[in-house]
Amino acid sequence: MLQGWVIASISFAYLGVLFAIAYFGDKRADAGRSIIANPTIYALSLAVYCTTWTFYGSVGRAASTGIGFLPIYLGPTLMAGLWWFVMLKIIRISKANRITSIADFVSSRYGKSQLLGGLVTIIAVVGIIPYISLQLKAISNSFTILLHYPEIVMPARAEALPLLQDSALYIALILAAFTILFGTRHLDATERHEGMVAAIAFESIVKLIAFIAVGAFVTFGIYNGFGDIFDRAEAVPKLKALMTVSDTGASYGSWWSLTFLSMLSIMFLPRQFQISVVENVNERHLTRAIWLFPLYLLLINIFVLPIAVGGLLHFPDGSVDADTFVLTLPMAERQEALALLVYIGGLSAGTGMVIVETIALSTMVCNDLVMPVLLRWKALRLQEEHDLSGLLLSIRRWAIAVILLLGYVYFRAAGEAYALVGIGLISFAAVAQFAPAIIGGIYWKGGTRRGAMAGLTAGFAVWTYTLLLPSFAKSGWLSLDFISEGLFGIGLLKPQQLFGLSGLGEIPHSLFWSMLANIGCYVAFSLHRRPDVVEASQGTLFVDAFRNTESAAGSRFWRGSAQVHDLLPLIGRFLGPERARDAFLAYARRRGLASIDALEANADLVHFAETLLAGAIGGASARVMVASVVKEEPLGIDEVMNILDEASQVRAYSKQLEQKSRELEAATAGLRAANERLKELDRMKDDFMSTVTHELRTPLTSIRAFSEILFEDPKTDLTDRRKFLAIIVKETERLTRLINQVLDMAKIESGNAEWHTADVGLREIIEESIAATSSLFADKQVALDMALAGEVPMVRADRDRLIQVMLNLLSNAVKFCKEGAGRVTVRLGVDGSTVRVDVADNGPGISEADQHTIFEKFRQVGDTMTAKPQGTGLGLPISRQIIEHFGGRLWVKSGTGQGATFSFSLPMNREANEHHEERKAK
Amino acid sequence: MMKRSIVTGQRLVAAFLLGCVLFNYPLIALFNKPGEVFGIPLLYFYLFGAWALLIGLMVWAIERRKE
Lowest average pLDDT, out of A278-287, A310-319, A854-863, B9-18, goes to A854-863
Backbone conformation region of residue A896, classed left if phi is above 0, alpha if psi is from -120 to 50, else beta: beta
Contact B23 A259 (CB under 8 A): yes
CA distance A737 to A721: 24
Question: Which residue of B23, B33, B36, B53 is the best one to mutate when testing the A interface, meaning the one whose CB has the most A CBs within 10 A?
Answer: B23
CA distance A369 to A403: 14
Domains of chain A (ranges plus CATH)? 4-43+51-82+111-253+273-379+386-418 (no CATH), 553-635 (no CATH), 662-747 (1.10.287.130), 754-921 (3.30.565.10)
Which of residues A920 and B63 earns the better pLDDT score?
Answer: B63
Residues 6 or more apart whose CB falls under 8 angstroms from that of A116 comprise A106, A107, A110, A449, A452, A453, A456, A620
> Shortest CA distance to A89 belongs to which of A277, A309, A339, A371?
A277
**pLDDT at B59 > cutoff 80:** yes
- Chain B: give the shortest CA distance to residue A390, in Å: 44
Which of residues A299 and B32 earns the better pLDDT score?
Answer: A299
Burial of A41 (0-12, 13-18, 19+ CB in 10 A): buried
Beta strand A783-788 pairing with A795-798: unpaired
Count of Cβ atoms closer than 10 Å to residue A722 Cβ? 11
Percent of chain A with pLDDT over 70: 88
pLDDT of A755 reads 80
Q: List, for residues A216-238, the tens digit of each pLDDT value.
A: 999 998 888 888 888 888 888 77
pLDDT of A227 reads 85
pLDDT of A459 reads 93
Alpha helices in A54-113, H assignment, sequence order: 58-65, 71-83, 86-97, 102-109
> Shortest CA distance to A861 belongs to which of A881, A841, A844?
A844
Task: Please state the domain count of chain B.
Answer: 1
**pLDDT at A163 > cutoff 80:** no
Question: Which residue of A58, A67, A77, A254 is the best one to mutate when testing the B interface, meaning the one whose CB has the most B CBs within 10 A?
Answer: A77
**pLDDT at A411 > cutoff 80:** yes
Q: What average pLDDT score do residues A806-812 get?
A: 85
b/e per residue A114-124 (b: at least 16 CB within 10 A)? bebbbbbbbbb
Backbone conformation region of residue A37, classed left if phi is above 0, alpha if psi is from -120 to 50, else beta: beta
Q: What's this model's pTM, rounded to 2 decimal places?
A: 0.67
Give the chain B residue whose CA is nearest to the CA of A82. B13
A and B: number of Cβ contacts within 8 A: 102
Q: What average pLDDT score do residues A531-543 get?
A: 79
**pLDDT at A457 > cutoff 90:** yes
Which residues constitute the domain of residue B35?
2-64
Scan residues 176-235 of A and list those with Cβ closer than 8 Å to B. Answer: 225-228, 230-231
pLDDT band at A181 (very low <50, low <70, confident <90, very high): confident
> Shortest CA distance to B23 belongs to which of A511, A255, A79?
A255
Give the chain A residue whose CA is nearest to the CA of B62. A287
Of A74, A84, A243, the CB nearest to B23: A74
* Chain mean position to CA A419: 40
Report phi then psi at A838, rounded to 5: -115, 140
**pLDDT at A671 > cutoff 80:** yes
Residues of chain A with C-beta less than 8 angstroms from the C-beta of B59: 291
Q: What average pLDDT score do residues A48-68 get?
A: 87
Count of Cβ atoms closer than 10 Å to residue A431 Cβ? 26
Lowest average pLDDT, out of A21-30, A458-467, A647-656, B27-36, goes to A647-656
Of A83, A244, A294, the CB nearest to B33: A244
| Mean of the per-residue pLDDT values of chain A | 81
pLDDT of A863 reads 43
Q: What is the 3-state secondary structure (H, E, C) of A777-796?
A: HHHHCCEEEEEECCCCCCEE
Decide if B51 touches A, using CB distance below 8 A.
yes
